């Protein structure tokens, strides 16, 4: 009898998967064969990459990096105080609950949609992209930060709170130093993520290499698109490598000496 329930669960999940695949049209063999053919044509048209656009997309990618950098910094600066207000070990539910709700609301709206909102607000260009990325970052880092803050060893909080300090001092001298490794790790992750997110901000007119990518797709210039994708890939790989180096420099193993 004990083995029946798991088996039924497995069969149920399999049935849901098959039904969903069918619903999405992914069991339509004709569609898949036709799609594969189109992909082959698409990929063939991407090679060789058109290096004539290299300089243009490189400058646009620099703008993408600026959007990601400013957006991450802006979001992190706003996320830090919000995360403190959302931390249950520092404040009661009357403070944490509305703060968490605000962060969840900001996080619910995708970065691209925030980009559209800011294109409407401040006009076309990278400023809208940076603000959109910044707000999205606030929602995400705010949540990640307060979860890290709440994971700080309660004994450290008790020891520091016990000297008679106030909440700001507690946040500054106990929560932040203890959470620093986690905060830095999430910050680097968010920057890597934002470089990718910023690369499509141009789709909605919010600056960066995405503007050219969308243009090349619409003009069927897949060889130029390939150049933009390759340049973005190289930069993303470089940033991943750089992040790893920074982590190695600043982040110590969590259990050292304790």
Partner 1 sequence: MELTEQPSEAPAAESPGALAPPPGEAVVIRDLWFAYRGAAPVLHGVDFVARRGQITMILGASGSGKTTLLKLIKGFLRPSRGSLTVLGRTWSAGGPDPQITAATSYIPQNLGLLRNMTVLENVLIGALGRMDTIPSLLRSFPRDMVVEASGVLERLGLGGKDHLKVHTLSGGERQRVAIARARLQRATLLLADEFVSQLDPITKTEVMNILRTRSKEAGTTYVQTTHQLDVVEQFADHVVVLREGKQVLDSPAAGLDVMEIARIIKQ
- State in angstroms the smallest separation of the CB of 165 from partner 1: 4
- CB nearer partner 1, residue 85 or residue 226: 85
- State in angstroms the smallest separation of the CB of 77 from partner 1: 16
- State in angstroms the smallest separation of the CB of 166 from partner 1: 6
* Contact (Cβ atoms closer than 8 angstroms) between residue 86 and residue 171: no
- CB nearer partner 1, residue 164 or residue 248: 164
- CB nearer partner 1, residue 91 or residue 173: 173
Residues 6+ apart with CB under 8 A from 256: none
In the numeric block, the tokens 């520092």 are attached to: 90
- CB nearer partner 1, residue 161 or residue 196: 161
How buried is 108 (Cβ within 10 angstroms: 0-12 exposed, 13-18 middle, 19+ buried)?
Answer: exposed
31 three-class SS: helix
- State in angstroms the smallest separation of the CB of 188 from partner 1: 17
Site for partner 1, rule CB under 8 A: 153, 155-166, 168-169, 172-174, 177-178, 180-181, 252, 256-258
- CB nearer partner 1, residue 55 or residue 155: 155
In angstroms, the CA 50 to CA 54 distance is: 8
In angstroms, the CA 248 to CA 246 distance is: 5
Which is nearest to 200 in space by CA: 104, 136, 151?
A: 136
Structure tokens at 80: 């830090």
Which is nearest to 250 in space by CA: 191, 186, 193?
A: 186
In angstroms, the CA 124 to CA 129 distance is: 9
- State in angstroms the smallest separation of the CB of 138 from partner 1: 22
- State in angstroms the smallest separation of the CB of 161 from partner 1: 8
- CB nearer partner 1, residue 168 or residue 242: 168
């Amino acid at each position: 009898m004990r083995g029946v329930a798991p088996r039924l669960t497995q069969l149920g999940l399999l049935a849901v998967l098959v039904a969903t695949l069918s619903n999405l049209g992914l069991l339509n063999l004709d569609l898949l064969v036709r799609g594969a053919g189109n992909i082959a044509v698409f990929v063939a048209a991407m090679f060789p990459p058109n290096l004539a656009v290299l300089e243009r997309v490189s400058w646009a990618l620099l703008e993408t990096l600026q959007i990601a950098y400013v957006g991450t910094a802006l979001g992190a600066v706003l996320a830090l105080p919000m995360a403190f207000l959302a931390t249950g070990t520092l404040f009661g539910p009357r403070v944490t609950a509305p703060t968490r709700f605000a962060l969840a609301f900001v996080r619910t709206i995708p970065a691209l949609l925030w980009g559209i909102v800011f294109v409407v607000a401040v006009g076309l260009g990278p400023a809208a992209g940076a603000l959109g990325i910044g707000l999205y970052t606030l929602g995400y880092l705010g949540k990640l930060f307060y979860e890290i803050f709440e994971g700080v060893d309660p004994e450290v909080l008790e020891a520091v709170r016990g000297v008679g300090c106030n909440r700001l001092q507690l946040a500054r001298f106990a929560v932040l130093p203890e959470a620093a490794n986690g905060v830095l790790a999430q910050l680097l992750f968010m920057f890597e993520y934002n470089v990718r997110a910023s690369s499509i901000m141009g789709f909605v007119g919010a600056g960066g290499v995405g503007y050219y990518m969308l243009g090349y797709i619409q003009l069927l210039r897949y060889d130029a698109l390939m150049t933009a994708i390759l340049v973005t890939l190289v930069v993303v790989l470089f940033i991943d490598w750089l992040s790893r180096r920074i982590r190695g420099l600043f982040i110590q193993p969590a259990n050292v000496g304790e």
